[in-house]
Homo-oligomer: A and B are copies of this chain.
C-alpha cells in the first residue's frame, strides 16, 4: 500500500500550493482564497502533516547573504559495489553536503555541495576524497542560477551556518 486511505483532493492541493508559496500564510487567508473556513483548512493541514505529505515549514534564505558563495555538484565514484548505507553515513558527516543521491550513469552518487568560498570547497573535497571507499570525484562548479528564487537556490543545511557567518 503506497497511498493508504489518504483522500488527497483538489482542495488539499490548493492548500499545499498556498503553503509552498507562503509558509506563514494564515489558515483564514488560505481559506478565503479557496472557499473554506479557517478551521477546515487547519484540519486539512494537520492531517497532511500527520500523513507526512507536509513534512515541515522552513524559512527561505539567500545563501550568499550568509556567506555561502560557492556551490558545486560533485559526482562520486566508489570502489566496486558501493554500499548506499555506508555512503549515507559518510554524507551526513560533511555538513557542507546540502543534498546527496544515488544516480544512474557512471557515477555512484551525486552531491550538492555548498561552501563559503573556493578554498573552503577544496577543503571539503579533500575531506570527501579521504573517505574509505571513494575512488574519485568530478566537480561541476555552479556559475549562476537560471531560476534565482527556486527553493534549491536557497539555504544550506541548518546544521552549520557557523563557518559561513564567521567568515564575513
Contacts and interface: CB of A to CB of B under 8 A. Distances in A.
Contacts of A8: 65-66, 165, 168
A103 interface: yes
A99 interface: yes
A168 B87 CA distance: 32
- Interface of A, helix, strand, loop or mixed by DSSP: mixed
A159 to B, nearest CB: 9
A73 B122 CA distance: 23
Contact of A110 (B55, B140, B162): B140
Interface in A54-73: 54-62, 65-66, 73
A5 to B, nearest CB: 13
A149 interface: yes
A98 interface: yes
Given A101-B143, A105-B138, 20 more contacts: A13-B162, A19-B58, A19-B59, A20-B158, A21-B58, A22-B58, A51-B65, A55-B61, A55-B154, A56-B60, A58-B58, A84-B146, A91-B147, A99-B152, A100-B150, A101-B146, A102-B143, A102-B144, A103-B140, A103-B141
Interface of A: 3, 6, 8, 10, 13, 16-17, 19-24, 51-62, 65-66, 73, 84, 87-88, 91-92, 97-105, 107, 109-110, 112, 138-147, 149-155, 157-158, 161-162, 165, 168
